Every structure is written in structure tokens, then in C-alpha cells.
Amino acid sequence: MPIRLGAVSYLNARPLVYGLDRRSDRFSVRFDVPSKCATLLHEQQIDLGLIPSIEYVHGPDYRIVPGVAIASDGPVASVALFTTRPAAAIRSIALDRSSRTSVALLRILCAERFGIEPTLVAMEPDLPSMLKHSDAALLIGDAALFADHERLGLEKIDLGAEWKTLTRLPFVWAFWAGRSGVVAPEDTSALVEARDAGVKNAEEVSRQYCAANPGAAGSGAERARRERRGAEYLRENVKYDLGERERAGLQTFYNFAAELGIVTTQVPVRFYI
């Protein structure tokens, strides 16, 4: 039977599954928001999930596909706070409920970088509605990437950039993980090959994605703008390696989360062989 993959539905995940639709003998792929990917993996409805990194600590002895991740080493562009106030003056934040890793990172940054203890409330990712209820809004994925914050008179506080300032390390947003034994070395090699091809073809990935997910694009010119921005984002903001610096950033994230009580257990970072 093909290995059941649960992938994130956002643009940043598409290079990791590039060409896998032609590998139906080995993989079947479904797309969901990050939190849903994690739930499906925890419930064993998929074999391997592109899960938010915070979800790894909640799994039953998961393993990680080596070398592959969704990461950033500085501004990520697709995970950000939108606000009219300086960070130090924020007292309430509406949270995009789609990703638990971004919320965990935000809580760390509030404590360790901004020095605030805001009220947090989960909401659907609609920026105007979120800002009616709170001083700031946390958005992730395409909603954050393509938001025209300058037109709206908002400041965009990039969480990837803030993490880099705090730690001098990359941040690991997500990776492939699953139970021990569900994939063989040739399977992990196929996932690395898909990543390499996807990264090489960033323009094509962005063009195909924007065609299938037009979003708020109301004209051909707007769609072309989104395609260009998407390709630039894939080339310059998102990193797809899980090397030594990324692993150090991941461990630092887990250490902060444990110190602040965001997670109650620490688990070793283990990889498929």
C-alpha cells in the first residue's frame, strides 16, 4: 500500500511534494492546515505528516525524516503579527488557530523578546475581524504572505526575524514525522529528491499553486504579482534543509517551550535511519 502522506496546504509546503503525484505507487498525498496534519498523524489516519514542530513532543515516539524541513533563517514572511501598535504596547492578540507551532513561538517571543503578557484568543484567520477584537493579529501561511499590510496601515512583525534576533539561529516550522518503521530508506530518499526538485523549480511551483488557489487575486495582473511574490518567497524566505544549525534552533525552541510551561515533556529528537 502507498505511504499515506499528510501535507500542509500552504504554498511553502509545495516544494516538498513536488512530483509526488506521479509516485502513486509509493505515496498518496492529502492537504490540510498544519494543525489538522498533526491531528491526523496522532490518530493514525496518515503514516507520515508534515507536522508543526511543536507537535513532535506530543507523539508516541515519532521519528523525523532526516535533512528535510520547512525552516527560515531570518524573516519568513508567512508568519507574522499585524498591528497598529509597537510590540511593547500590545495587550491582546487574536491567534490564527491553524498552527500550534506559531502560537508557541509567539508566546516565547512575548516573554523573551517583547516583554509582554497579552491576552490570547483563537479566531478564524480574517484580519479585519481579528483586529476588531484585539490589538494585534497572528496570521500564518498565505494569509500572512499576501496581506497588503501597508495599504491597511499595519505594521508587520515577522516572527522568523524576531526569533533570529533572539537566538541567532534558524527556526524550524515543520518537518515530516511518523511512527518508527513506517518508511524505509528508499522512501526518505524519494522525499529528499522531491524537495530538491521542488526547490529547483520555485517559479513553476508558485505558478501552479497560484493558478489552483487564486485567493484574493481579482485580475490577471494581481495573480501575476502573487506568482512573482510566491516564487521570491520560496527562493529567499523559506529554507528546506534540516542541518546542524536548524537542529540547534529546534532544540532551543523545545527548551524555551519547556521552561515556559508550553510543553510538559521533553523528548529526544530522533530520525529515521
How does residue 267 score in pLDDT terms, banded at 50, 70 and 90?
Answer: confident
Residue 216 has pLDDT above 60, yes or no: no
Give the tens place of pLDDT for each residue, 151-193.
Answer: 889 999 999 999 999 999 999 999 999 999 999 999 999 999 9
Cα radius of gyration rounded to whole Å, the chain: 18
Give the tens place of pLDDT for each residue, 105-161.
Answer: 999 999 999 999 999 999 998 999 999 999 999 999 989 999 889 988 999 999 999
Position 238 scores a pLDDT of: 97
Instruction: With beta carbons less than 8 A apart as the criterion, state whether 34 and 99 touch.
Output: yes
The better pLDDT of the pair 192, 266 is held by: 192
C-alpha cell at 165: 534576533
Residue 250 has pLDDT above 60, yes or no: yes
The arrangement of strands across the sheet holding 92-96 comes to 119-123, 92-96, 136-140, 79-83, 155-158
pTM of the model: 0.93
Position 29 scores a pLDDT of: 95
